[in-house]
Amino acid sequence: MDLIYIDNNATTPTLPAVWEAMRPYLTDAYGNPASAHRAGRRARQALEDARERVAALLGAQPDEVIFTSGATEANNLAVFGLAGDPPGHVVASPIEHPSVAEPLRRLQEIGFRVAYLPADRTGGVRAEALAGLLRPETRLVTVMLANNETGAIQPIADCRLQIADWAMKSAICNLQSAIHCDAVQAVGRVPVHFGELGVTSLSLSAHKFHGPRGVGALLLRRGTKLRPLFFGGHQQHGRRPGTEPVALAVGLATALELAEREGAARRERVLALRRRLLDALRREAAPVVLNGPEEGGIPHTLNLSFPGCRADALLMVLDLAGVACSTGSACSSGSLLPSPVLKAMGVHDEVLHSAMRFSLSALLSEAEIDEAARRIAAAVRRLRATGD
């Protein structure tokens, strides 16, 4: 058993069936979907078919699907596109992915005010605090659906209710606030329905659910005003100009279809593997601190601290031992910074600096999980003994 890949929140392997569905659009059917000739029409047909499939699978309308290069672009498009011109006010969760958190910092630099919701120790934001943060000039509320570091699922429906309630009590009938939801770690893993979630926009990325890297989408509620990030073409109604990546869109739709078809079985399998890994590490690498929910989060994610070990040292030892995982920290110019997500949850230093993220997929076997647990526990014991 060589490399054990338990870093599926970073990316997942593309399934052969997805690659096969994409192949014709990388070889024979290479037309530009904007071209009027037969080759173009064939590409357009495949693109619009992919758009319709994605919409149907996620409870959206086809004209609500904007294909992007991934979720970083989709999140930037939502934050900048919905916030409009400064001055203005935005409310955000403190546990957003950098592709939301950094655009928010940029908004602050150009004259927006940003207020942050509190988070609790298991990684959930406290929706009831929203009422105290909203303002008549709030343009955008942004809260992710499932956190990439802890797996905690966020109370989007409660946030929506809080906003409606606040607008009613404050007699502000025309509150312009949009709600954006980064659903990257949830789509293709747990059921997500755009219409029922009731948000203005939602981002997703194909490579998190066994689709290709380099394509994602922003779902945008019909009739919403959005300022584009790019200019120079009329594609996708000018909201995201540029020649659409037909093969990647087909890959995204196919991966989503497979995820939907096999969803329940995959979830059950991953949940059992997560329990198996958690139990083994609690037994063999104690003391272990769980950062995030014991149950009820996205099943793929396990964020654990091993007090007495430094996460960066553990990551390196595990890489040498053939375990691909990640620290709970953000990498910046080669140095590891403590995770802002765990900090927002009130995690104290010792736990913060020893946090590791293991993220699973249904492709893993029980034997791989058992072997991963053995290698992790051995590395933890070694580092604790040497004081690293």
Binding site residues, ligand PMP, CB under 6 A: 70-72, 75, 97, 99, 144, 148, 182, 184-185, 205, 216
Cα–Cα dist 154/184, whole Å: 13
Of all residues in the shown chain, the one whose CB is closest to ligand PMP is 70
Give the nearest distance from C-beta 148 to ligand PMP in angstroms.
Answer: 3
Cα–Cα dist 323/131, whole Å: 44
Catalytic option among 159, 181, 325, 331: 331
> Which C-beta is closer to ligand PMP: that of 6 or that of 373?
6
> Which C-beta is closer to ligand PMP: that of 146 or that of 317?
146
> Which C-beta is closer to ligand PMP: that of 31 or that of 70?
70
- Whether 89 and 67 have beta carbons less than 8 Å apart is answered as no
Give the nearest distance from C-beta 144 to ligand PMP in angstroms.
Answer: 6
> Which C-beta is closer to ligand PMP: that of 99 or that of 150?
99
For 49, the token pair is 């078919």
Residue recorded with tokens 């553990």: 314
Give the nearest distance from C-beta 180 to ligand PMP in angstroms.
Answer: 11
Give the nearest distance from C-beta 300 to ligand PMP in angstroms.
Answer: 11
Give the nearest distance from C-beta 185 to ligand PMP in angstroms.
Answer: 5
For 188, the token pair is 């293709």
- Whether 291 and 303 have beta carbons less than 8 Å apart is answered as yes
> Which C-beta is closer to ligand PMP: that of 127 or that of 184?
184
181 is catalytic: no
> Which C-beta is closer to ligand PMP: that of 124 or that of 216?
216
- Whether 120 and 95 have beta carbons less than 8 Å apart is answered as no
> Which C-beta is closer to ligand PMP: that of 75 or that of 150?
75
**Among candidates 175, 205, 171, 172, which has minimal Cα distance to 189?**
205
- Whether 201 and 180 have beta carbons less than 8 Å apart is answered as yes
Give the nearest distance from C-beta 301 to ligand PMP in angstroms.
Answer: 10
| Active-site residue list | 331
